[in-house]
Amino acid sequence: MFVDHIKIQAKAGDGGRGAATFRREKFVPRGGPDGGDGGRGGSIIFKTDPNVDSLAGFFYEPIIKAKSGQAGMGKQCYGKAAEDVIVKVPVGTIVYRMSPDFAPQPRAVDDFEKKAKPQIKPEDLELVADLAGDAEVLVLCKGGKGGKGNIHFATARNRVPREYTEGDEGEQGIFYLELRKIADAGLVGYPNAGKSTLLGKISAAHPKVAPYPFTTLHPMVGVVDFPGYQRATVADIPGLIEGAHNNVGLGHDFLRHIVRCKLLLHVVDMAGSEARNPVDDLSKLRIELKLYDPALAKRPWMIVANKMDLPDAAANLKEFKRRYRNVKIIPISAEQNSGIEELKTILFEKISSEHPVPAPVAEE
């Protein structure tokens, strides 16, 4: 099960209370106070891990709690600090703090299958961190400090202090987690445009391919190898349709995954095999991206004219080039493996310009 947005509740451990004890030993009259401090409560820490690709673990355990610190003891023995709870999250996780009114409740798997979505407004969210780096660490909730024992309250006038302090409460809160895949390029297109087939041809990914729409149900990321041990990541999101920005179809839930992409590849069925017009398809895709996030419409983009092995594709390509003269168009046939190498070459050039590789230093 793929989960890319979810509410959770986190509660760090409380600090242990201090001890109010006195030294009582033979031949040591009036030994005085010897109560130790309480231990620190455990913190809740997020750490990004490239081997984790979903937030599904939080679906089954939406409430995370750390243990409290041990109470202080006599003979000036301090309480043991509680262990921190380290939770691995995918690279690209965005953490928001929410109002306490949005406390999550454990749900059944059927709830997710029915696509029950939280009614969350942007004003309800406060950005905490964007965990976009590998092995990045975030202390989500800090554990409470341990209380003081009575050894801290002894004075010349108060030689038998019975005072001590309780440990501080650990931090807690309601959080909203959103996963945005990190990829160099993103494949965008209508259902059955051939995005999954193309991803399988240019990378080692194995997405599901079938002759019916919406075979891709969640985003997939493939790694493309280039000469010189260079690599790039390409994300494939479920097919978009008109109205996707307004919760129509499947792709609306996954548009967030191309927000980080530095290059967009618009995959178009140039043959119009689904009884659609390729020019209209691209025009509607550009509108949907702009309505979802205006910044996406300004992102560098290219057109991948797929299914060139089918009838009418060549004629449609001529009209397409006349309409989009200033945009790079790459004709391919993912099914026939035609034009794939040219596409990879152009993709490498575009991505290398975004991430220039340092020139090797000559050996003396």
Please give the radius of gyration of the chain, using alpha carbons only, rounded to the nearest integer.
Answer: 29
Tokens of 209: 């391919």
pLDDT at 50: 87
Q: Percent of the chain at pLDDT above 90?
A: 32
pLDDT at 297: 83
Regarding the domain with residue range 185-354, which homologous superfamily does it belong to in the CATH classification? P-loop containing nucleotide triphosphate hydrolases (3.40.50.300)
196 pLDDT above the threshold of 50? yes
Numbered ranges of CATH 2.70.210.12 in the chain: 5-179
pLDDT at 312: 85
13 pLDDT above the threshold of 70? yes
pLDDT at 45: 97
Of residues 356 and 168, which shows the higher confidence score? 168
Numbered ranges of CATH 3.40.50.300 in the chain: 185-354
| Band of pLDDT at residue 18, cut at 50, 70 and 90 | very high
pLDDT at 210: 54
Q: What rounded mean pLDDT belongs to the chain?
A: 82
Q: Which of 184, 10, 221, 217 has its CA nearest to residue 95?
A: 10
Q: Which stretch of 10-24, 35-49, 318-332 has the lowest confidence by average pLDDT? A: 318-332
Give kind and range of the element (H or E) at residue 236: strand 230-236
| Band of pLDDT at residue 227, cut at 50, 70 and 90 | confident
pLDDT at 251: 52
pLDDT digits (tens, 9 = 90+) for 263-298: 899 998 898 877 788 888 888 888 888 888 888 888
Out of 168-177, 224-233, 294-303, 309-318, the most confident range is 168-177
Of residues 1 and 319, which shows the higher confidence score? 319
248 pLDDT above the threshold of 60? no
Fold (topology level) of 5-179: Spo0b-associated Gtp-binding Protein; Chain: A, (2.70.210)
Q: What mean pLDDT comes out for the span 174-180?
A: 91
DSSP string for residues in 312-328: THHHHHHHHHHH-TTS-
pLDDT at 165: 95
Of residues 352 and 32, which shows the higher confidence score? 32
| Band of pLDDT at residue 36, cut at 50, 70 and 90 | very high
Q: What are the angstrom distances between the C-alpha of 341 and each of 15, 225, 326?
A: 60, 11, 22
Cα 198 to Cα 268: distance, rounded to the nearest angstrom? 11
Beta-bridged to residue 129, according to DSSP, are: 95
pLDDT at 169: 95
Give kind and range of the element (H or E) at residue 47: strand 44-48
214 pLDDT above the threshold of 60? no
pLDDT at 356: 43
Q: Which stretch of 90-99, 269-278, 285-294, 351-360 has the lowest confidence by average pLDDT? A: 351-360
Q: Which of 235, 129, 123 has its CA nearest to residue 177?
A: 129
211 pLDDT above the threshold of 70? no
pLDDT at 123: 73
Q: What mean pLDDT comes out for the span 87-105?
A: 82
